[in-house]
Amino acid sequence: MTRTPNILIVDDHREIRDALKRYLERNGFRASAVDSTKGMDKAMAESRFDLVVLDIMMPGEDGLSACRRLRIESDVAVLMLTALGEDTDRIVGLELGADDYLAKPFNPREVVARIKAILRRTERPPVALGGQYGGKRLSFDRWTLDVDRRVLIGSDKAQVELTTSDYQLLIAFLERPRMVLSRDRLLDLTSGRTASLFDRAIDNQVSRLRRKIERNAASPELIATVRGGGYCFMADVTESA
């Protein structure tokens, strides 16, 4: 990223959040720390953050509930922290939209590595040529993708910028309309890696893309979920100069 990423730490343990804040700042990040989701809401109303490090177990509203709200209200990336050993809690966090999770106690170097990996997936790309579609526009439903600018233009002329992961996922769908693509296949197409046991990266990316292109993300018409199969892009795609 060309600017310094801004990280918000939400954890009710003062020693953990203060130590992590100092470590992130020493490693080139801007960082703020709060002790509750109320503090998180206030901080996010006042500043723009690239990623939230969110503890699950907190008094008042817990991290899972906060993550659910964030996915409805924001595109901010989320790294969940949990002291729980049960895999179920980690899976729930990922299914609610967290980008990754890390169990306590953790090595701060691993936190930095996870944050950098998440930001690489979600950062907004610079203007660049679009590979085989350089200079082209791809149209579907009520949208036109300006490939060079990586911007979606609606039929009402409204423009929607795409993050790197949005763009890669959309291109994967537009190149293969009406084909059922498994999660493993989509992960390979978009990031060149295979899925791990608890990997929900593609599901989270699909949810984010749906919020940008569907009329109703809760009842998607363009990106259909195929039970036991993955996802299928249901619209016809046309190419123009």
Instruction: Report yes or no: 10 and 31 within 8 Å, Cβ to Cβ.
Output: no
For the chain, what are the domain ranges?
Answer: 6-122, 131-240
Residue 30: the pLDDT is 93
CA 180 to CA 63: how far, in whole Å? 34
The residue among 1 and 184 whose pLDDT is bigger is 184
Q: What is the pTM of this model?
A: 0.60
Taking CA atoms, 221 is separated from 156, 211, 235, in Å, by 19, 12, 8
Nearest to 241 by CA among 109, 118, 136, 160: 136
Report the range out of 30-34, 42-46, 180-184, 236-240 with the highest average pLDDT: 30-34
- Beta 137-140 vs 223-226: how paired, if at all? unpaired
| CATH number of this structure's domain 6-122, picked from the four choices 3.10.310.70, 3.30.70.1290, 2.40.110.10, 3.40.50.2300 | 3.40.50.2300
User: pLDDT tens digits for 119-174?
Assistant: 887 765 443 434 455 568 999 999 999 988 889 999 999 999 888 778 889 999 99
Residues 63-67 have a mean pLDDT of 91
Using the predicted structure, report yes or no on whether residue 42 has a pLDDT greater than 60: yes
Q: What are phi and psi of 96, to 5 degrees?
A: -80, -10
Could you read off the pLDDT of 206-234 as tens digits, one per residue? 988 999 999 998 899 999 999 887 999 99
- Reading the block at residue 151, the tokens are 């911007």
The CATH-assigned architecture of domain 131-240 is: Orthogonal Bundle (1.10)
Confidence of residue 79 (pLDDT cuts 50, 70, 90): very high
DSSP 3-state of 162: coil
